Chain A
């Protein structure tokens, strides 16, 4: 078992969840209730990582953020380090790859809130911010947990995009799923088996959480 790779995977999943949460909430809410031009196009764009081969996404990120490119130079000047072949690089890639997993459940959850309930909050004197905190967020809670669980599990399992932009640097970009591939290449099957089991357990746990949350409406019960 490669604990360094495991810790790196957890770190990547954790930061992906932390950073994607506000994005998912804002975007999910806007897509659920907003009426704006180009909404369908934006939705399609967000769903794109679901069908795009991860290597394709990785390729574009690699080219786009190459140290010689405009974006690469901008990133390097902002953060003092290049994006490619670094932890920040795989974090950015992971955020983009996980957009549909985080936004979709939240969008569905916000959609399920009847408009009259929000209006009742406004009429009851709740500001938009308090309506969000006291009414919308608690009602969208199952969607939020689902989105985070999916994102977490999906990040642990991310392979192609991370390999493309991050390479295979132990302690920096070698996540558990890449380490697993590494061990299989080296015929170290017992280690690979342990890693596979860990990833299997996490994936199952995430799906179980999503499944339970999808059925859960805590306010319906006492």
Chain B
């Protein structure tokens, strides 16, 4: 990918009413991997199609490395053939009648490459498919097909690489291996990469930046850990898979945005930061299950625990090493606080549904958001 410069950057703004309503804005620097996440039907694939030129939105801009591919303002629409974009389709969309080698070579065959087949062979070697060059897609495994699709996408020395749910059509073992290989491949690619996925864990594991799409609208973007631990709204929190999302009222604030207290179901919790919220305001707060700890009998001896909450253990799920436990807080309430616990520990403590327990909430991990509506 020699001549691809390090300046490559992708800038996308899209507005459309059809086929799905879109209001999207995203940027991705070269060498950066941007994960586009959201539930199915959120318009993630539509965004990729608009970047590739397979769809013309009613308004917006697609620019790569300062070159405009689409601009409704100036009436520019570069056809997909002229965009130099690498797109790995969800089900790979390989040419079924061509060998793996020809699938890649045909993408090189627009006259610029003196020896397309040799180049195709080296691209297949790069995705570790030596020896399978003459096989047709039907004779390849899911993982091998994905690699052919990747090699084909890289054939044109693309200026942006688009991956549409690239791991959804393969089994779990293959998925982990392909993810590892994508991480290695990235080292040699100096272009923006956009990965579409509905799997939050996959996005968190692979992405440098996250853009959350819901109903065709970008509702959050930023560093993955930030978007996940400090979501901008309850909707983002839900999409990020947060279970511990509750409503409360700010009771006290020490200095603007400083630490404060929130009242929640008869208890008062200390939050490390209150953001823009002031006393008396209703808030939605959340805490990641990794920041909720079970207090063991011996822990009670010293000083009062940080945000200690009493409840009844109602669920204990997962049989292998790590279990998810849920605590019901308050008599007859439906508020379930989830936390993780090692299976060995749960057994040692004799935990079972119905056990009264006390959990501690890390105050710095309590994040406040404006409630919905």
Contact = CB atoms under 8 A, between A and B. Distances in A.
A114 B81 contact: no
A39 to B, nearest CB: 19
B241 interface: no
A222 B136 contact: yes
B52 A126 contact: no
A122 interface: yes
Nearest to B79: A122
A116 B89 contact: yes
Interface stretch (B92-100, B252-260, B297-305, B313-321): B92-100
Interface stretch (A60-68, A131-139, A160-168, A172-180): A131-139
Contact of A125 (B54, B94, B139, B156): B156
A219 B135 CA distance: 10
A52 interface: no
A215 to B, nearest CB: 15
Nearest to A113: B96
B74 interface: no
Nearest to B54: A119
A116 B91 contact: yes
A126 B81 contact: yes
B93 A122 contact: no
B16 to A, nearest CB: 18
Contact of B136 (A135, A138, A219): A219
A220 B93 contact: no
A181 to B, nearest CB: 45
Given A120-B87, A123-B54, A138 B81 contact: no
Given A125-B81, A134-B106, A222-B139, A120 B94 contact: yes
A75 B53 CA distance: 46
Contacts of A119: 52, 54, 80, 89, 93
B123 interface: no
Contact of A122 (B81, B86, B94, B138): B81
Contacts of A117: 93-96
A123 B162 CA distance: 11
Interface string A132-163: 00110011000000000000000000000000
Interface string B116-152: 0000000000000000000111110000000000001
B368 interface: no
Where chain B touches its partner, the secondary structure class is loop
Given A134-B106, A219-B138, A123 B95 contact: no
A114 B89 CA distance: 12
A123 B80 contact: yes
From A120, A123, A134, residue with most partner B Cβ within 10 Å = A123
A124 interface: yes
A127 interface: yes
A191 to B, nearest CB: 47
A179 B369 CA distance: 89
Given A116-B91, A119-B54, A119-B80, A218 B107 contact: no
B25 interface: no
A184 to B, nearest CB: 48
B97 A116 contact: no
Contacts of B83: 123
A139 B136 CA distance: 14
A70 B81 CA distance: 47
A209 interface: no
Given A117-B93, A119-B93, A125 B110 contact: yes
A94 to B, nearest CB: 32
A1 interface: no
A126 B94 CA distance: 14
B155 interface: yes
A106 B139 CA distance: 26
A121 interface: yes
B156 A124 contact: yes
A139 B94 contact: no
Contacts of A122: 53-54, 79-81
A138 B107 contact: no
Contacts of A217: 96
Given A117-B96, A122-B79, A220-B136, 17 more contacts: A116-B90, A116-B93, A117-B94, A120-B89, A122-B53, A122-B81, A123-B52, A123-B54, A123-B85, A123-B86, A125-B110, A135-B95, A219-B96, A219-B136, A219-B137, A220-B96, A221-B138
Of all A-B residue pairs in the complex, the 5 with the closest CB atoms, nearest first, are A219-B97, A124-B107, A116-B93, A120-B93, A122-B80
6 contacts: A117-B95, A119-B54, A139-B97, A219-B96, A220-B136, A221-B138
Interface of B: 52-54, 79-81, 83-87, 89-91, 93-98, 106-107, 110, 135-139, 152-153, 155-156
